[in-house]
């Protein structure tokens, strides 16, 4: 079972972590026979174990109390956590000790595929939904979810397909919002993207998401997977990023509040798997960008840009340890330059990799076709020097018991059916930091109760979708000036 308070401690071998750690650049590769087996990994840019000081990472677990496949998470400046999945936006204002349903809102008559976003500048909480295939509903709250407003957004004559996303970012001096264009009535630009069969469509709002007057198709055809995409990310310099689901890792970005969009590619050395899920982008306080994805070998990889998306590394960095031979649903956020956190579902069940599966075919690590005895756990990776030529990654297998047993369906319609539908986790998880640089992870737990404690649990037992959260209880902030974060305490 998941523990109320989960302590996973990286033993301190260095003096206090008041900033980036100054690791010895001459690090030795640990022999294979000495690799850790306790779910704690310190790795280099190839995912290989190295000898380096560990950092303190202590995580708290919270059961949201509702089903929560493909969740999104955000935290307001007051400390209220919003977990949005299915039709119930859940809220905790006591650091995950209790949760309540913030469903009493001006809401769409029919909802599906919700997505949430908390504006880190204004604290506006967004809760958006698809309303069938004709339109979407955009709701927002400016008082920590106590009351809500909302409006429909008509998608036009072509039906919606999927992947509604929303984010906010600064206005820039070019494109939409400048004199002669529409005048912004809200401190931040609000971006809204979704896909239709024709491709990706993105729009910009000048009034805080109440209406979206400008925008249109920016990329791709859904029939070529170009219409599906990850989350929207904005940088402090106003650059807006959107990663499409294409075979070579690609970024779409705009530098003029969505008036024009360009594309760049990176990381061609590892490619992306098929069927594949969302790649994601994070930006730090200096507008450096970090793009992550699950590669063709099903490890998590990263490419970096230090010039606001104009150019990207073509040799990818491996974030996940090589022992984690299968991953999916990677998510990332960043604080100060080089300080990033990543989460993903992963499996270390390597013994089956070259053995025939139940259909007589070898498994290549694709979660979509995982064996019935493969177990997936939640991993969280930190780097405090991710911009260095030789970055160090600190990874912990956070969940004590599996999040999923057996395959994780990555494409609708052709899932491997082992013991019932394995679409229980749907399409993604989420990771965001609060204004102190504390990391919060939202995920759906597919293996709960008897499944979590059974030594012989099967895929048939692993079809839950319980909304769950981990957040950093003690450890380094992603903002260097904050230093080490202490345990959160709540008082009335």
Residue 320 belongs to a domain: yes
The whole-number pLDDT of residue 32 equals 36
Return the structure tokens found at 185: 């009535």
Q: Say whether 431 sits in a helix, a strand or coil.
A: strand
The whole-number pLDDT of residue 4 equals 37
Out of 68-77, 347-356, 370-379, 441-450, pick the least confident.
347-356
First to last CA, the chain: 29
Q: Is the pLDDT of residue 146 over 50?
A: yes
The whole-number pLDDT of residue 356 equals 53
Q: Under a CB-based contact definition with an 8 Å cutoff, are residues 165 and 280 in contact? A: no
The whole-number pLDDT of residue 414 equals 62
| Most confidently predicted of 10-19, 176-185, 200-209, 412-421 | 200-209
Out of 212-226, 276-290, 316-330, 368-382, pick the least confident.
212-226
The whole-number pLDDT of residue 302 equals 97
Q: Say whether 461 sits in a helix, a strand or coil.
A: helix
CA distances from 136 to 113, 167, 258, 384 (A): 10, 15, 20, 39
**Higher pLDDT among residues 260 and 274, named by residue:** 260
Confidence class of residue 12 from pLDDT cuts 50, 70 and 90?
A: very low
Residue 237 belongs to a domain: yes
The whole-number pLDDT of residue 15 equals 29
% of the chain exceeding 70 in pLDDT: 81
pLDDT tens, residue by residue, 270-301: 888 876 777 999 999 999 999 999 999 999 99
Return the structure tokens found at 302: 């990263």
Q: Is the pLDDT of residue 492 over 60?
A: no
Q: Under a CB-based contact definition with an 8 Å cutoff, are residues 274 and 304 in contact? A: no
How much is the pTM?
0.89
Residue 2 belongs to a domain: no
Confidence class of residue 362 from pLDDT cuts 50, 70 and 90?
A: confident
- Tell me the average pLDDT of the chain: 84
Comparing CA positions, the residue from 174, 71, 173, 167 lying closest to residue 121 is 167
Q: What is the dihedral of CA 101, 453, 463, 110, to 10 degrees?
A: 0
The whole-number pLDDT of residue 401 equals 94
Mean pLDDT value across residues 257-271:
91
Out of 60-74, 120-134, 152-166, 417-431, pick the least confident.
152-166
Strand order in the sheet with 112-118: 112-118, 125-131, 135-141, 149-154
Residue 21 belongs to a domain: no
Q: Is the pLDDT of residue 23 over 80?
A: no
Mean pLDDT value across residues 129-142:
82
pLDDT tens, residue by residue, 413-469: 666 655 556 889 989 999 999 999 999 999 999 999 999 987 889 888 999 999 999
CATH number at residue 271: 2.130.10.10
Mean pLDDT value across residues 83-100:
90
Residue 421 belongs to a domain: yes
Residue 458 belongs to a domain: yes
Q: Is the dihedral of CA 240, 245, 246, 248 positive or negative?
A: positive
Residue 187 belongs to a domain: yes
Confidence class of residue 83 from pLDDT cuts 50, 70 and 90?
A: very high
Confidence class of residue 198 from pLDDT cuts 50, 70 and 90?
A: confident
Tokens 């979704």 — which residue? Answer: 194
pLDDT tens, residue by residue, 308-354: 999 999 999 999 999 999 999 999 999 999 999 999 999 998 555 54
Please tell me the total count of domains within the chain.
1
The whole-number pLDDT of residue 413 equals 60
| Most confidently predicted of 1-15, 219-233, 423-437 | 423-437
CA distances from 16 to 55, 282, 386, 472 (A): 9, 27, 19, 17
- The rounded distance, in Å, linking the Cα atoms of 446 and 374 is 13
Q: Is the pLDDT of residue 149 over 70?
A: yes
Residue 76 belongs to a domain: yes
The whole-number pLDDT of residue 107 equals 55
**Computed over its alpha carbons, how large is the radius of gyration of the chain?**
21
**Higher pLDDT among residues 331 and 108, named by residue:** 331
Range of the domain at 94: 32-485
Q: Is the pLDDT of residue 20 over 50?
A: no
């Amino acid at each position: 079972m998941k523990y109320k308070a989960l302590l996973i401690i990286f033993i301190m071998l260095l003096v206090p972590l008041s900033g980036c750690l100054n690791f010895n650049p001459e690090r030795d590769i640990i022999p294979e026979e000495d690799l850790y087996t306790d779910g704690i990994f310190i790795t280099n840019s190839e995912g290989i174990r190295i000898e380096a000081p560990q950092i303190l990472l202590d995580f708290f677990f919270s059961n949201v109390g509702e089903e929560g496949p493909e969740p999104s998470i955000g935290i307001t400046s007051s400390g209220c956590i919003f977990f949005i999945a299915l039709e119930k936006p859940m809220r905790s204002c006591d650091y995950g000790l209790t949760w309540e349903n913030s469903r009493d809102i001006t809401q769409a008559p029919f909802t599906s595929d919700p997505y949430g976003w908390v504006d880190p500048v204004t604290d506006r909480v967004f809760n958006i939904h698809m309303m069938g295939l004709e339109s979407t509903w955009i709701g927002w709250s400016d008082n920590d979810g106590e009351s809500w407003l909302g409006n429909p957004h008509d998608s036009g004559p072509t039906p919606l397909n999927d992947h509604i996303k929303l984010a906010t970012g600064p206005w820039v001096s070019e494109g939409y919002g400048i004199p002669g264009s529409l005048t912004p009535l809200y401190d931040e630009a609000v971006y809204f993207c979704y896909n239709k069969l024709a491709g990706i469509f993105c729009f910009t709002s000048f009034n805080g998401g109440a209406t979206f007057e400008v925008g249109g198709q920016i990329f791709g055809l859904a029939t070529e997977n170009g219409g599906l995409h990850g989350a929207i990310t904005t940088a402090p310099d106003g650059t807006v990023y959107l990663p499409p689901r294409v075979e070579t890792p690609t970024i779409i970005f705009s530098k003029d509040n969505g008036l024009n969009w360009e594309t760049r590619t990176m990381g061609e050395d590892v490619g992306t798997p098929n069927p594949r899920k969302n790649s994601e982008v994070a930006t730090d306080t200096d507008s450096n960008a970090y793009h992550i994805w699950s590669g063709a070998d099903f490890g998590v990889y990263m490419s970096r840009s230090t010039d606001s998306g104009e150019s990207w590394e073509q040799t990818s960095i491996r974030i996940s340890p090589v022992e984690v031979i299968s991953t999916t649903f990677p998510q990332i956020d960043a604080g100060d330059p080089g300080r990033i956190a990543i989460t993903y579902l992963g499996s270390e069940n390597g013994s089956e990799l070259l053995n025939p599966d139940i259909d007589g075919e070898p498994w290549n690590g694709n979660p979509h076709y995982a064996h019935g005895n493969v177990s997936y756990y939640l991993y969280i990776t930190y780097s405090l020097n991710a911009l260095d030529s030789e970055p160090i990654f600190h990874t912990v297998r956070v969940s004590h018991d599996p999040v999923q047993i057996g395959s994780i369906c990555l494409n609708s319609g052709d899932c491997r059916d082992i013991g019932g539908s394995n679409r229980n986790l749907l399409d993604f998880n989420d990771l965001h930091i609060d204004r102190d640089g504390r990391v919060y992870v939202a995920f759906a737990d597919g293996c709960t109760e008897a499944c979590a404690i059974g030594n012989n649990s099967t895929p048939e037992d692993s079809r839950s979708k319980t909304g769950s959260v981990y957040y950093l209880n003690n450890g380094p902030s992603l903002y260097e000036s904050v230093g080490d974060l202490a345990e959160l305490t709540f008082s009335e």
